[in-house]
Amino acid sequence: MVLYKLEDFEPSYQESFDGHDIKGLGVYTQGTDEKVGTVSDVLVDEEGHFRYLVVDLGFWIFGKKVLLPIGRARIDYNIDRVYTIGLTREQAEDLPEFDERQTLDYDYEERVRGVYRQPTDYNNLPVEAATPLDPLAGLDPLGTPVASLGTTPTYARDSYTYENEPALYGLNEQDHQTLRLYEERLIASKRRQKTGEVTIGKHVETDTARIAVPIERERVVIERVTPADAGTAVSGREADFREGEVARIEIHEETPDIRKEAFLREEVRVRKVVDQDTVETQETVRREELDVNSGNLPIEER
């Protein structure tokens, strides 16, 4: 049976204990309330079950660490204490010293269990809780072997399991009762989803543009006027009669010259902005409350 340090087995073990850390808790004797030492570590099996508390006996025996089976401990997180069940100073002196550099084998654990075992631990256990090989063991009415009064059962090396000895490794229901109260909470989260799409492009429209251009046209104006000396006789030399005399005048006019030229009219800039809003919703949540019926017995809640 391989054992692991709690932190090596599960580095985030404190999350399973609501942030509590069993390491560092003071260890006291149950009843006398005498401080024994301090929990320096926890050993668990392959499935993560607590098997031993490593206790530094600095208050009893300086510099000695020993193993305390979890069934012989009562953990009280309300006052940050661990109480030992039935551990005496004499037993602590007899316990083999724990050295983390040495391998924990069956023989070492048997030396530890031998100090804690007491015949009375097995007299009132269920039959399936132990598999005694003691030849002095008797049979119950169903013919199943049970431990004899005043005897300590022994176990086979190859078939031993921690479940064989609940007195050492089982969690005492009386000392470890826990009633968990649950409540529901609303957990808000956000989910991003596509609500639409905006497409921005351009197209060409045609229109008829009008432009006014002033132009000039020349025309001939012929005026006939009566001179002031009309009717006055002239000499034959002045009267110059010429046949076929022609006067020529050039006529001009302007015509509009229209052409098209492209130029930049405006720029269109496209961007996104995020509008923030708060959406409120409500749901019915449940919560468990503790009902205590103690009759006339005094009850203290912490």
Nearest Cα to 117, choosing from 153, 90, 88? 153
Position 122 scores a pLDDT of 40
> For position 153, what pLDDT does the model report?
62
Q: Which of 122-131, 179-188, 283-292 is predicted least confidently?
A: 122-131
Q: What is the pLDDT of residue 253?
A: 93
H, E, C per residue of 120-179 = HHHHCCCHHHCCCCCCCCEECCCCCEECCCCCCCCCCCCCCCHHHCHHHHCCCCCCCCCC
- Six-digit token string for 15: 């999350």
The pTM of the full predicted model, rounded to 2 decimals, is 0.49
Torsion of CA 289, 294, 299, 302, to 10 degrees: -20
Query: Between residues 115 and 231, which one has the greater pLDDT?
Result: 115
Question: Mean pLDDT: which of 12-26, 153-167, 274-288 is highest?
Answer: 274-288
What DSSP letter does each residue of 252-284 carry, written as one string?
-B-------------------------------
Whether the per-residue pLDDT at 158 is higher than 70: the answer is yes
pLDDT at 258 over 80: yes
| DSSP assigned state of 168 | H
How is residue 147 annotated by DSSP?
Answer: P
- The pLDDT, as a whole number, for residue 280 is 87
pLDDT in tens, 22-58: 889 999 998 888 898 999 999 988 888 889 999 999 8
Closest CA to 81 of 3, 13, 175, 171: 175
Q: pLDDT at residue 146 above 50?
A: no
Residue range 223-252: mean pLDDT, rounded: 83
Q: Which pLDDT band, with edges at 50, 70 and 90, does 204 fall under?
A: very high
- Residue 126 is predicted with a pLDDT of 37
